[in-house]
């Protein structure tokens, strides 16, 4: 009977996997639980309440966090939109335009923001703005975000485009569609899941960035992460836990959406799409 | 992430000739706002620091000299090798290395377990592993700090349960930083190994078993060599960002034992205000990372050739 | 795609809108956790001004940020005494006339004419206080009136000490411990200073200014260098700590609101400074930050607790010292010592 054991199974691997998930989720779950703590002390449990959520929305610092949230969402939406457009064009160039000069170099350039350590990008961008005398503010954050959003938007978009054969566009062109019509009416609709997925990932990445934003933000401009960091340096307070829990839920919602967008229309084919 | 490069896939030609035009925006944006800034940063690393911060446009090697040579408190002694910054880099490599090892020890069994599930439950497991990555890194680090501090929930429960007599002191230690890094980048380890295991041909295991190889021997002699590319990719994806990490050492390590990220940050955001030195340290970090990536790419080419 | 386009144009509009309302603004660069939000809201409402506040955690960080291009983005900042002098020498301060500051007469006589800003041409007093350390009395019950607690700690406190991440104050405190003069050019003394902090570092758990209160309240540290008011807040938040006035000496300081050069909203900056010279408003800062105001007539508005707080009532006959702005050649050595320490 020991002749044919299940070779896929290793004893203890399930336990390690569960441990792994436990390690990943335990801190988040605990912060979420403590955000409902009624006690002003963060370590003692004083019953369940929503008072810290009230504090976030209507408390003294509500204005500050509201402004930061608006900045964060504005920048994320603008950066993700721009990066998605650029990435879609780039993916079309890389996967649909045959060979051209600089094509192999281009992939390296697009993935460069992923390879350069974040702190280096932050420093370089700060020095750049300072050297050209560009006053830091919302715009400087936006520019920096567009740069590092491009590869995150590109990867799911390119993965999707690779999975779509070009026969449809060829057929359209055989029927006298212009290149632009073939792109807009054939390729783009087929690409939608990849584009949505790329946009959402870029959005989340922008929303989450702390290090680069912290370096290039201007006077009086905060995003949620920099505002949270500023507050948390003086101690982890219950209202920070409430904000964190809210942000956590936003992130999870977006990843779930992205996940389903990536799977959309994928049922007929088994191409791996959108899973980075 | 594999297979998306210029060599991946069939080169369709629907928009032949439009390539340069379509790629132009990406070139312009990344060229102007990343490549050019890195070049300017390189230039700054050779400029003179002004007293009390700022730079003077006079070329000098002072920043690199400060990094590698110790000229005493008053700057007039015979230069000796300056070990402190090398030590900071070494500490970063060590911390990042241990975090990578920790990720590997937990990540490999996890990736293996997930890859050997039936197809439909695999995606759910993968999804569960990736979700935390998308949660704000700052919030994850804060959560970790809250959990492990001396008066935090973990110690309280252990104390209440009578398992320990006094709190386990983790916060502000190297272990805390390693835990933080591990927690930050674990999904990066799982995903590439998962991809490699998924492609693994189990006939190899069967062949090994037929030759009376034990499970352990099969794992070390057959499986690991085959999925090695995935393991190496995972290690790089964890190691590289860990090397330049800022939040984990700052929030979990008590900002006492500097890592590269904190050293660089201090030059720009902190009180030090030494831009040329910060730029030089960033250049050295960047060179190290690029060397790792180039060696990796070379090996990839050799193995696929 | 249509929705994307709409979203993009809406965003562009909102971005421009936030630029267009630049009138009626005030941009403050301030120490962290030092001014109550209510007071900012009050000013904003009274003068119809949109107030933004950024924070820093040391005088040196303020200087570095202004040097790095933030000058011209902020209207006012709150440097300590010696940093006012440095900013002035660097040409980073604007001046105002007495007519522009109607409440200037409210300044207490001892702060009305100061060496770091003769005649108060660029600054007004904000709050003053001291820098020393607090010790958790549950952990250590021995004598704490000595700088040994930080630089040569008893067994109970080893590895449980937080030190302020501010070069000026921490090195001055170390000089007091050694009994050497500030800005000493004596090589042996500077070497001794370097050795002292290098050796003491082994007993320190962390460097941090913004965390100074939290580490004491949460118990992450059992002793910590801290400012008197911040230490009082820590005690009021439940830490069983005592603030020390060591025999070797302690630091006193006066923080000042300065008018920055190239202030984008100079008029509002002056209104704000004048507003802070109102006794009621100065008292609001004192009640919040637990330091002592430099304005006359605040007493009726002050919390009862402040009158008896040990943090605010130093024993007579101590050795309070202001931090001095050192000449370049000494400051460079200090910078090296600090860099050696932090790395």
- What is the residue-level pLDDT of chain B in tens, covering all 305 positions? 434 444 444 456 778 778 888 999 999 999 999 999 999 999 999 999 887 777 889 999 989 988 888 888 887 788 888 888 888 899 899 999 999 999 999 999 999 999 988 888 888 898 888 888 888 889 999 999 988 888 888 888 899 888 888 888 888 888 899 989 998 888 889 988 998 888 888 888 888 888 888 888 888 888 888 888 889 989 988 998 898 888 888 888 866 667 899 889 888 887 777 899 999 999 999 999 999 888 888 887 777 65
Chain B neighbors (3+ CB pairs < 8 Å): A, C
Per-residue pLDDT of A77-124, as tens digits, reads: 999 999 999 999 999 999 888 888 888 889 889 989 988 999 999 999
What does the alpha-carbon distance between residue C91 and residue A133 come to, in Å, rounded to a whole number? Answer: 19
Given an 8 Å threshold on Cβ–Cβ distance, is C67 in contact with B273?
yes
What does the alpha-carbon distance between residue A254 and residue B86 come to, in Å, rounded to a whole number? Answer: 42
DSSP string, A23-40: HHHHHHHHHHHHTTB-SS
A to C CB pairs, distance under 8 Å: 66
C2 is a domain residue: no
The reported pLDDT for the residue numbered C11 is 52
Cβ-contact B188, A78 below 8 angstroms: no
SS3 percent helix, strand, coil of chain A, rounded to 5, is 70, 0, 30
The reported pLDDT for the residue numbered A242 is 92
Pairing verdict, β C25-31 and C123-136: unpaired
C188 is a domain residue: yes
Pairing verdict, β C223-227 and C161-163: parallel
Q: With contacts defined as CB-CB under 8 Å, which chain A residues touch B134?
A: 204, 208, 251-252, 254-255
Q: With contacts defined as CB-CB under 8 Å, which chain C residues touch B142?
A: none
C22 touches A at CB < 8 Å:
no
Q: How far C170 CA lies from chain A's nearest CA (Å)?
A: 19
Which of B22, B31, B282 lies nearest to residue A89, judging by beta carbons?
Answer: B22
The reported pLDDT for the residue numbered C8 is 52
What does the alpha-carbon distance between residue A96 and residue B84 come to, in Å, rounded to a whole number? Answer: 52
Q: State whether C119 and C39 are in the same domain.
A: yes
The reported pLDDT for the residue numbered B255 is 62
Given an 8 Å threshold on Cβ–Cβ distance, is A74 in contact with C4?
no
Q: How far A246 CA lies from chain B's nearest CA (Å)?
A: 11
The reported pLDDT for the residue numbered A110 is 92
Q: With contacts defined as CB-CB under 8 Å, which chain B residues touch A9?
A: 116
Q: State whether C136 and C246 are in the same domain.
A: yes
Closest CA relative to residue C32, chosen from C302, C233, C270: C233
Residue B228 three-state SS: helix
C3 is a domain residue: no
Q: State whether C105 and C68 are in the same domain.
A: yes
C14 is a domain residue: no
Give the up-direction half-sphere exposure of residue A66: CA atoms within 13 A in the CB hemisphere. Answer: 11
Domains and CATH numbers, chain B: 86-304 (1.10.3720.10)
What does the alpha-carbon distance between residue C241 and residue C144 come to, in Å, rounded to a whole number? Answer: 11
Q: State whether C194 and C52 are in the same domain.
A: no
Given an 8 Å threshold on Cβ–Cβ distance, is A233 in contact with C210?
yes
Q: State whether C212 and C292 are in the same domain.
A: no
The reported pLDDT for the residue numbered A96 is 86
Phi first, then psi: what are they for C271, rounded to 5°? -60, -40
Given an 8 Å threshold on Cβ–Cβ distance, is C342 in contact with B258?
yes
Residue of C nearest to B85 (CA): C343
What does the alpha-carbon distance between residue B242 and residue B185 come to, in Å, rounded to a whole number? Answer: 8
What does the alpha-carbon distance between residue C279 and residue C172 come to, in Å, rounded to a whole number? Answer: 32
CATH of the domain at C282: 3.40.190.10
B266 touches C at CB < 8 Å:
yes
Q: State whether C89 and C204 are in the same domain.
A: no
Q: State whether C213 and C323 are in the same domain.
A: yes
C328 is a domain residue: yes
Q: With contacts defined as CB-CB under 8 Å, which chain A residues touch C37?
A: 60-61, 64
Block means of pLDDT (10 residues each) for chain A, 276 residues, are 65 90 90 87 79 88 90 96 96 86 87 91 94 89 96 89 83 86 86 88 89 91 92 84 90 82 57 41
C8 is a domain residue: no
Cβ neighbours of residue B216 closer than 8 Å, sequence gap 6 or more: none
Q: State whether C247 and C266 are in the same domain.
A: no
The reported pLDDT for the residue numbered A4 is 56
What does the alpha-carbon distance between residue B248 and residue A154 come to, in Å, rounded to a whole number? Answer: 28
What does the alpha-carbon distance between residue C106 and residue C274 come to, in Å, rounded to a whole number? Answer: 10
The reported pLDDT for the residue numbered A270 is 44
Given an 8 Å threshold on Cβ–Cβ distance, is A235 in contact with C27?
no
The reported pLDDT for the residue numbered B130 is 83
C276 is a domain residue: yes
Residue C293 three-state SS: strand
**Which residue range forms the structural domain that includes residue C217?**
129-252+314-341
The reported pLDDT for the residue numbered C205 is 87
B203 touches A at CB < 8 Å:
no
CA A45 to chain centre: 34
Q: State whether C183 and C321 are in the same domain.
A: yes
Pairing verdict, β C250-259 and C76-77: antiparallel
Q: State whether C206 and C274 are in the same domain.
A: no
ipTM: 0.86
Cβ-contact B59, C176 below 8 angstroms: no
C15 is a domain residue: no
Q: State whether C220 and C337 are in the same domain.
A: yes
The Cα angle at residue B108 between residues B106 and B110, in degrees rounded to 5: 70
B256 touches A at CB < 8 Å:
no
Given an 8 Å threshold on Cβ–Cβ distance, is C64 in contact with B85?
no
Residues in chain A: 276
Q: With contacts defined as CB-CB under 8 Å, which chain B residues touch A240?
A: 142
Q: State whether C115 and C245 are in the same domain.
A: no
The reported pLDDT for the residue numbered A1 is 42
Q: With contacts defined as CB-CB under 8 Å, which chain B residues touch C187?
A: 73-74
Given an 8 Å threshold on Cβ–Cβ distance, is A7 in contact with B206?
yes
Q: How far B259 CA lies from chain C's nearest CA (Å)?
A: 9
- How many beta carbons lie within 10 A of that of residue B295, not counting itself? 11
Domains contained in chain C, number: 2
Phi first, then psi: what are they for A272, rounded to 5°? -70, 125
Q: What is the pTM of this model?
A: 0.86
Residues in chain B: 305
- Chain A, window 194-253: residues with a beta carbon less than 8 angstroms from a chain B beta carbon: 204, 207-208, 210-211, 214-215, 225, 228-229, 232, 236, 240-241, 244, 247-248, 251-252
Which of B151, B258, B269 lies nearest to residue C343, judging by beta carbons?
Answer: B258
What does the alpha-carbon distance between residue C135 and residue C151 come to, in Å, rounded to a whole number? Answer: 14
CA A163 to chain centre: 22
Block means of pLDDT (10 residues each) for chain C, 343 residues, are 51 48 80 93 93 90 87 94 94 95 94 94 96 96 95 94 91 95 93 94 89 88 96 93 95 96 95 96 96 94 93 89 90 86 77
DSSP string, C15-47: HHHHHHT-SSEEEEEEESS-S-HHHHHHHHHHH
Given an 8 Å threshold on Cβ–Cβ distance, is C211 in contact with A188?
no
């Amino acid at each position: 009977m020991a002749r044919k054991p299940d070779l896929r199974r290793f004893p203890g691997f399930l336990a390690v996997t569960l441990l792994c998930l436990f390690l990943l989720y335990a801190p988040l779950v605990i912060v979420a639980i403590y955000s409902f703590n009624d006690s002003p002390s963060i370590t003692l449990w004083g019953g369940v309440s929503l008072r810290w959520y009230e504090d976030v929305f209507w408390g003294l610092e509500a204005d500050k966090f509201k402004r930061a949230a608006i900045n964060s969402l504005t920048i994320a939406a603008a950066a993700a939109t721009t990066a998605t457009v650029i990435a879609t064009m780039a993916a079309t160039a890389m996967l649909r335009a045959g060979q051209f000069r600089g094509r192999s170099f281009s992939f390296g350039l697009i993935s460069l923001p992923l390879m350069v350590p974040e702190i280096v990008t932050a420093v370089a961008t700060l020095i750049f703005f300072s050297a050209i005398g560009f006053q830091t503010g919302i715009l400087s954050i936006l520019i920096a975000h567009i740069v590092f959003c491009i590869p995150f938007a590109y990867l799911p978009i390119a993965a999707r485009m690779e999975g779509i054969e070009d026969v449809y566009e060829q057929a359209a062109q055989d029927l006298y569609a212009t290149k632009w019509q073939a792109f807009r009416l054939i390729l783009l609709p087929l690409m939608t899941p990849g584009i949505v997925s790329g946009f959402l990932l870029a959005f989340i990445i922008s929303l989450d960035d702390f290090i680069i934003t912290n370096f290039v933000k201007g006077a009086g401009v905060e995003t949620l992460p920099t505002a949270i960091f500023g507050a948390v340096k003086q101690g982890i307070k219950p209202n920070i836990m409430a904000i964190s829990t809210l942000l956590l839920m936003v992130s999870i919602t977006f990843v779930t959406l992205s996940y389903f967008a990536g799977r959309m229309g994928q049922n007929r084919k088994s191409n791996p799409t959108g899973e980075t | 992430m594999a297979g998306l490069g210029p060599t991946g896939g069939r080169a369709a030609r629907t928009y032949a000739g439009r390539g340069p035009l379509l790629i132009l925006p990406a070139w312009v944006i990344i060229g102007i706002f990343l490549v050019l800034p890195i070049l300017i940063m390189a230039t700054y690393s050779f400029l003179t620091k002004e007293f009390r911060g700022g730079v003077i446009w006079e070329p000098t090697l002072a920043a690199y000299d400060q990094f590698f040579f110790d000229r005493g408190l008053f700057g007039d002694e015979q230069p000796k090798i300056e070990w402190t910054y090398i030590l900071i880099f070494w500490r970063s490599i060590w911390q990042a290395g241990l975090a990578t090892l920790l990720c590997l020890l937990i990540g490999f069994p996890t990736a293996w377990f997930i890859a050997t599930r039936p197809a439909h439950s695999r995606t759910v497991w993968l999804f569960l592993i990736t979700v935390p990555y998308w949660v704000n890194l700052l919030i994850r680090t804060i959560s970790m700090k809250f959990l492990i501090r001396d008066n935090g929930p973990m110690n309280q429960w252990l104390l209440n349960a009578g398992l320990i007599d006094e709190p386990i002191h983790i916060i502000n230690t190297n272990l805390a930083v390693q835990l933080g890094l591990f927690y930050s980048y674990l999904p990066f380890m799982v995903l590439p190994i998962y991809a490699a295991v998924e492609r693994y041909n189990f006939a190899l295991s069967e062949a090994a078993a037929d030759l009376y190889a034990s499970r352990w021997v099969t794992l070390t002699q057959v499986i690991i060599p085959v999925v090695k590319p995935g393991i190496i990719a995972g290690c790089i994806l964890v190691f590289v960002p860990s090397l330049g990490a800022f939040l984990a050492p700052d929030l979990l390590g008590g900002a006492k034992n500097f890592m590269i990220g904190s050293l660089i940050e201090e030059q720009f955001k902190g009180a030090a205000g030494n831009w040329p030195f910060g730029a030089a340290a960033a250049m050295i970090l960047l060179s190290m990372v690029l060397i790792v990536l180039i060696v990796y790419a070379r090996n990839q080419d050799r193995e696929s050739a | 795609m249509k929705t994307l386009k709409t979203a993009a144009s809406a965003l562009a509009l909102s971005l421009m809108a936030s630029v267009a309302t630049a009138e009626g603004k005030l941009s403050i660069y301030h120490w962290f956790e030092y001014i109550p939000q209510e007071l900012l809201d009050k000013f904003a409402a009274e003068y119809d001004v949109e107030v933004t506040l950024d924070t820093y955690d040391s005088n040196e960080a303020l200087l570095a940020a202004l040097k790095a291009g933030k000058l011209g983005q902020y209207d006012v900042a709150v440097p300590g005494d010696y940093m006012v002098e440095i900013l002035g020498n660097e040409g980073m301060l604007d001046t105002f006339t007495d007519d522009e500051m109607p409440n200037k007469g409210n300044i207490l006589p001892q702060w009305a004419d100061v060496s770091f800003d003769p005649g108060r041409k660029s600054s007004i007093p904000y709050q003053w206080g001291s820098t020393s350390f607090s010790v958790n009395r549950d952990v250590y019950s021995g004598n704490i009136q000595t700088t040994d607690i930080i630089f040569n700690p008893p067994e109970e406190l080893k590895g449980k000490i937080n030190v302020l991440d501010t070069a000026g104050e921490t090195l001055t405190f170390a000089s007091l411990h050694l009994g050497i003069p500030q800005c000493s050019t004596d090589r042996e003394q500077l070497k001794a200073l370097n050795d002292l902090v290098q050796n003491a570092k082994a007993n320190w758990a962390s460097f941090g200014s913004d965390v100074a209160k939290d580490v004491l309240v949460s118990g992450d540290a059992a002793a910590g260098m801290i400012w008197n008011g911040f230490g009082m807040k820590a005690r009021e938040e439940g830490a069983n700590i005592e603030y020390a006035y060591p025999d070797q000496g302690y630091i006193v300081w006066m923080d000042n609101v300065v008018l920055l050069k190239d202030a984008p909203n100079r008029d509002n900056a002056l209104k704000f400074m004048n507003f802070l010279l109102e006794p009621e408003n100065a008292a609001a800062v004192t009640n919040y930050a637990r330091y002592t105001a430099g304005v006359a007539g605040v007493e009726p508005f002050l919390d009862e607790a402040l009158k008896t707080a040990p943090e605010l009532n130093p024993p007579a006959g101590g050795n309070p010292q202001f931090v001095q702005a050192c000449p370049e050649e000494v400051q460079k050595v200090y910078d090296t010592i600090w860099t050696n320490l932090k790395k």
